[in-house]
Structure 1
């Protein structure tokens, strides 16, 4: 009997832990746990409740009781006489009530329980790793009795599983918050902005105003007073923008650029009035660390009902208005009009620059190493496009990024890079240099144009390089397209490795790790930047690394720039790293020299799970 009981508890534990690890929502995990517990303890009704930071009860699961029972308890404060659950949460110890009808702790709640035939209740507190009560796990009985020894063992297991599941749910909530909020200012971020603009512009009847603005002279503040003062100035501007009033949402798009969406602005006069209020918010000097600074912003604005037919065009027109304001009316506001097309010329020039470079074979690959930190070896490289000018100068991707907005250019660039990657890989294999993968970024255009599998396979077959050496990097936003996700699955089935790039900066969700066919996660540079200064960020990175190991997914930290960041990542178990601390992107000849210096004989490329084992 004891052996069977232990087997049942082990099966329960494995089922719940697997659900937690694969990102099943906590409400579903709690419901499953209650149902399994009730099956193992006949005659008991199980409930799980969470306790928020303010000490209020929120029922999560109770499949054996009417929904009205949980609804009646929702929002009640915990206390010394709040039934079994509220008292257990208040005292932080289990509370056994064998007779609800006579127990003083139930005097205000008997009318809820007794009509349902509930006569006894045993509740245990669920605690976080730090010892804070975050929930309760309870057994209700329809007879006046306490728990059996078998039920005590079952509840011990369930409370422990609840603690794990609630902690993971909290990490997921933090990730979700981080995905849509700027860490420095607490405002909504660029991804939240992109999502709301796209949704708003898709509505048949839309009427809102969009203002883009940035801070004037921030570079001078950073150069003269230091980046800590500049960061404080950004936060102060964010605070003042957020205090303008109701009816607006404020977003930090990155650096010193902000966006304001006003649902009440439906004409140019309203927009000008709102811009005036934003400008007036900056009139008071800002005192920080003994420095007095004058805040100044410049604003460009558009109206959704007249200045753009799509989200992209509306944003582009707002950019044009802001650009013109910075050129001609710094510290003031300019509303868009069709004549503000100077930046279109810049885009046209970049499209032409990339097009001519592709025509004249002046596009080539630079490679940035991916390092196994523990063994100080190069295990992979990421290929990055560069242009060589007629004068022999090397132009990085930032100088022709707008050229990639042309789908033809983007498509041709991928083909050019694939040929160079396959050729370089053939040379490294022939020389006996060890390298597990070469990564290349694919855009939405690559998936939309069709015949992607053939385009990827052809250059590698021509150079007799196994496809298992090719690592495809895609962002979360690209994978949100179900058709793209299906193509990614097919690529992986052919032996290619799949990496989720910039994880946590798009529509971040732990469910992505379950739903999409992944071999690697690349932790975005924004996480690494805040790793040593932001406790929440550090906890999230640590949780991601732990989760990746358990799910046998490789994990790479991007953008490492300091030895301290590298040391911390190594300490918390991150095996692979990429960033300027190790090496900047270099040409093929230089990366070959690095491979000769640090690596040895070729070994077969690893899968994600092998990668975790071999590079830790």
Structure 2
């Protein structure tokens, strides 16, 4: 008898261990174990329950008891008087109840079990290797009795097998969670996103929306406050994205990029509403480590029926919308449309065009004169990049402007232009044409590399050209960065002049004129174009000229193309002008000829007082 019992227990153990080792789902393993235990212990009804991290009972198997019984117990908290299983889990010891009808521990649960004809219950805790109770294994009886010695041996084996199976299931669930979830935010990860997108695209036709977004200026947060704060910002954004409601899944794809899949969005209006809601979630300032951070994200979206042939194309279209949004609507939302693909293709081609021209030294510096309107003399020039094509044609910056959205190209172009501008200025000085300044445009990229002063000094000292002959032009958007503004102030202290380019096309805040370190304001061509036809535009330009004069800031009107525009600007006191009406951008030799024609040698004045503002 003993040998047969040992053989039966060994067979049970082998069967369950093989199921665990081969990856059989835990629910199947638990059901099999209960049924086999009931076969070896006639008259016993077996159940297995789990205990979750909150201490709640979660029935897992009980094939011989009604399903409603397990459902009634699901979610009950373990405790000192919670039947046999809840009490065994609470104290971590076996609990034998031989008469449910009279035992205090069953008082609140008698109505569930007595109508089933069950009169006794023996429950044993199942523990993890660390000793934490993770479940219970129980025998119910239809008579008032306790377990036999053979049943005790059986339960010992079953509890051991349950512990192994539950540990394996926990490890498997943890690995599945790691495989599909991002560790920093707890959101679904790229692997989960790829699977879900593939399933949605393979399913019967149904329109859904996809949003891609990333966090603006996260690099500045990391650089200024540390990566721990940057990680906290990523977590906060993830939490805020997850809060708007149901009908969507949020994924962190990596870095500062997130994806949102919305199955309930099937038109552009719903997509815009969702994007607006998500942007609104970022409005509340985020307090972290004694820092107040304004969160900002940019969003690109796509609907799944834009002629997409698969998940890759859908994702690519959302990427195109996001990249376009970052260029034209940073902090906002752009929905994909087929025209964006042409724009991105154009950008790619222009990046390649500029990169190749830089490699082959086919970038040229042309110069457009800045004219003193009252004296009709050249008092400065602006350096503008041009490319000579393989066929010898000269193309202007408009033909490769999108190539400058690549940071590597932008950085290389500035280096190339600095060298060519310094060389041209040296040539003019050698001819006795001492020009007060040459303006060169700088971008955000030039300031971000951290070695701008060294680059400027190196290029000009190599040609023995003083830095006070250089004027740097920056836009309002560039100057909004406090670090950039600080660098500009240092350059100005070294004798270089600073011009605010394209004024009126960026933030256009008058307070910036007070806060920024400026020598000149360049009125954008759009104002000049409307000067004669738009009363409000005329008033703005007139007021700006008057204000700049009182603030001792020079002012230059750009894009003058007609005599009427020039005459009106002269009437309202604009001192300096630039545009096709006077001269188009030309090469260095032609500029030298123009300088001689516009009054010969331009006498250099005291840099401390000369702002190129022409006296009346």
Please give the TM-score of this superposition, normalised by the length of structure 2: 0.52
Q: Tell me the CA shift for residue 68 of structure 1.
A: 3.5
Are 1:101 and 2:74 matched, yes or no? no
Are 1:211 and 2:211 matched, yes or no? yes
Higher relative contact order, structure no. (Cα contacts within 8 Å, ≥ 6 residues apart) = 1
Off by >4 Å, runs of 4+ in structure 1? 342-350
**Residues 460-482 of structure 1 deviation map (CA, whole Å, 9 limit, x = unaligned):** xxxxxxxxxxxxxxxxxxxxxxx
Query: Could you list the runs of 5+ residues in structure 2 that have no partner in the other structure?
Result: 352-616
Q: Tell me the CA shift for residue 202 of structure 1.
A: 3.6
Gap change, CA 1:111 and 1:281, over 3 Å in 2 = closer
**Residues 293-345 of structure 1 deviation map (CA, whole Å, 9 limit, x = unaligned):** 33322211112244635332221111111122223332222221112125557
Q: Aligned equivalents of 1:211 and 1:166: distance in 2?
A: 39
Equivalent residue for 1:234? 234
**Residues 246-292 of structure 1 deviation map (CA, whole Å, 9 limit, x = unaligned):** 44322111111111223443332332233233233333443332444
Q: Secondary structure at the match of 1:340?
A: helix
Q: Tell me the CA shift for residue 52 of structure 1.
A: 2.3
Are 1:11 and 2:11 matched, yes or no? yes
Q: Secondary structure at the match of 2:327?
A: helix
Q: Out of 339-348 and 181-190, give the one that drifted further.
A: 339-348
Matches within 5 A, 1:334-345: 334-341=334-341, 342-343=343-344
Gap change, CA 1:150 and 1:260, over 3 Å in 2 = same
Equivalent residue for 2:301? 301
Partners of 1:59 and 1:73 within 8 A in 2: yes
Q: Aligned equivalents of 1:216 and 1:136: distance in 2?
A: 51
Are 1:193 and 2:193 matched, yes or no? yes
Gap change, CA 1:194 and 1:344, over 3 Å in 2 = farther
Equivalent residue for 1:287? 287
Partners of 1:307 and 1:317 within 8 A in 2: no
Are 1:333 and 2:327 matched, yes or no? no
Gap change, CA 1:349 and 1:50, over 3 Å in 2 = farther
**Residues 22-68 of structure 1 deviation map (CA, whole Å, 9 limit, x = unaligned):** 22111111112112222322332211111223333222112233334
Gap change, CA 1:112 and 1:270, over 3 Å in 2 = closer
Q: Tell me the CA shift for residue 152 of structure 1.
A: 1.3
Q: Secondary structure at the match of 1:139?
A: strand
Matches within 5 A, 1:493-508: none
Q: Aligned equivalents of 2:294 and 2:152: distance in 1?
A: 65
Q: Aligned equivalents of 1:290 and 1:108: distance in 2?
A: 51
Equivalent residue for 1:24? 24
Equivalent residue for 2:542? none
Gap change, CA 1:284 and 1:121, over 3 Å in 2 = closer
Partners of 1:207 and 1:266 within 8 A in 2: yes
Please give the TM-score of this superposition, normalised by the length of structure 1: 0.52
Partners of 1:27 and 1:61 within 8 A in 2: yes
Equivalent residue for 1:531? none
Matches within 5 A, 1:532-611: none
Q: Tell me the CA shift for residue 111 of structure 1.
A: 4.2
Equivalent residue for 1:135? 135
Gap change, CA 1:334 and 1:117, over 3 Å in 2 = closer
Equivalent residue for 2:73? 73
Equivalent residue for 2:155? 155
Q: Secondary structure at the match of 1:136?
A: strand
Matches within 5 A, 1:432-447: none
Partners of 1:48 and 1:59 within 8 A in 2: yes
Equivalent residue for 2:581? none
Query: Could you list the runs of 5+ residues in structure 1 that have no partner in the other structure?
Result: 351-616
- The aligned length equals 350
Q: Tell me the CA shift for residue 128 of structure 1.
A: 2.3
Q: Aligned equivalents of 2:240 and 2:53: distance in 1?
A: 28
Gap change, CA 1:245 and 1:120, over 3 Å in 2 = closer
Equivalent residue for 2:117? 117
Gap change, CA 1:290 and 1:87, over 3 Å in 2 = closer
Gap change, CA 1:217 and 1:25, over 3 Å in 2 = same
**Residues 160-189 of structure 1 deviation map (CA, whole Å, 9 limit, x = unaligned):** 221221122122222222222211111121
Q: Secondary structure at the match of 1:46?
A: strand
Are 1:312 and 2:315 matched, yes or no? no
Q: Tell me the CA shift for residue 118 of structure 1.
A: 2.5
Matches within 5 A, 1:412-431: none
Gap change, CA 1:142 and 1:272, over 3 Å in 2 = closer
Are 1:252 and 2:243 matched, yes or no? no
Gap change, CA 1:348 and 1:13, over 3 Å in 2 = farther
Equivalent residue for 1:517? none
Equivalent residue for 1:181? 181
Q: Secondary structure at the match of 2:185?
A: coil
Equivalent residue for 2:52? 52
- Which structure is larger by alpha-carbon Rg, 1 or 2? 2
Q: Secondary structure at the match of 1:138?
A: strand
Q: Tell me the CA shift for residue 115 of structure 1.
A: 4.1
Q: Aligned equivalents of 1:38 and 1:84: distance in 2?
A: 18
Partners of 1:307 and 1:336 within 8 A in 2: no
Equivalent residue for 1:82? 82
Q: Tell me the CA shift for residue 125 of structure 1.
A: 1.5
Equivalent residue for 1:561? none
Equivalent residue for 1:266? 266
Are 1:2 and 2:18 matched, yes or no? no
Partners of 1:307 and 1:314 within 8 A in 2: no
Equivalent residue for 1:583? none
Equivalent residue for 2:459? none
Q: Aligned equivalents of 2:276 and 2:313: distance in 1?
A: 25
Equivalent residue for 2:64? 64
Q: Tell me the CA shift for residue 213 of structure 1.
A: 0.9
Matches within 5 A, 1:334-483: 334-341=334-341, 342-343=343-344
Gap change, CA 1:69 and 1:296, over 3 Å in 2 = closer
Q: Out of 154-163 and 222-231, give the one that drifted further.
A: 222-231
